[in-house]
Copies of this chain bind each other. A is one copy, B any other.
């Protein structure tokens, strides 16, 4: 028997984040800085990505860094500025938590809780976010089998939270020319085997900004439900992940080309 996967059927569940649907017949774009560096930085970036057509803003409060000496994010110093900027832009915020004790602190202004790649196997944390009502963005562990990734969602569901979106962000392989290896096989495989929306993080997947647009188009063409992209006003001065962040102008150009491709695919950018 030959399965026909050519006409996507959109049987994927829709996960609502604020007024935005992830997994429905339209495509979602999440964009923003790796970490919030200042009020002005977050305000500028949010405004720019919104203007270019992004639906949600991403921005890190606490950063997991390999070295304890590297910039670890603003932490609670960012709380007030986030609330102010969100009031201006009206964009829902996706942000990562790294410790169960952070949930309560940011509950009021984070609209989607991200579990990062390093914590996909941190089942204590997964159980905690399973108890809340907000949607969860579960990144794939950088060396997690597809099967382990799907099974990790059980720990979230146990507490009653079904609002899960998966995010493929590249896996660790023998190749070192690129930061990770984008695994689009996993995207198409997981979409066929589960009803969960799956988005792609091309920025982490390759780690080199000049290739982010091409991988974004490829992700869209593969059938992913959206992308999450790092954008920074001055990537070369970013406090983290600058090498993989687009500037405003390149993000805008990418959105225009993405729009054309999505229309050809019959799956347009979500209207806000």
Binding site for B on A (CB under 8 A): 1-6, 64-69, 98-101, 118-119, 121-125, 142-143, 145-148, 151-152, 154-155, 157-158, 170-178, 180-186, 188-189, 192, 205-206, 208-211, 213-215, 217-223, 235-236, 246-247, 249-250, 253-254, 257, 260-261, 263-265
Contacts and interface: CB of A to CB of B under 8 A. Distances in A.
Contacts of A173: 171, 173-174, 181, 183
A191 B148 CA distance: 31
Contacts of A4: 210, 250, 253
Max chain B C-beta neighbours (<10 A), residue from A125, A157, A177, A257: A177
B67 A151 contact: yes
A220 to B, nearest CB: 7
Max chain B C-beta neighbours (<10 A), residue from A2, A4, A214, A236: A214
**Total identical chains:** 4
B2 A155 contact: no
Nearest to A145: B175
A121 B119 contact: yes
Nearest to A217: B221
B124 A121 contact: no
Contacts of A178: 146, 185-186, 189
The 3 closest A-B pairs by CB, nearest first: A143-B143, A264-B264, A118-B121
Contacts of A223: 214
Max chain B C-beta neighbours (<10 A), residue from A183, A219, A235, A246: A183
Contacts of A253: 4, 6
Contact of A66 (B142, B151, B182, B205): B151
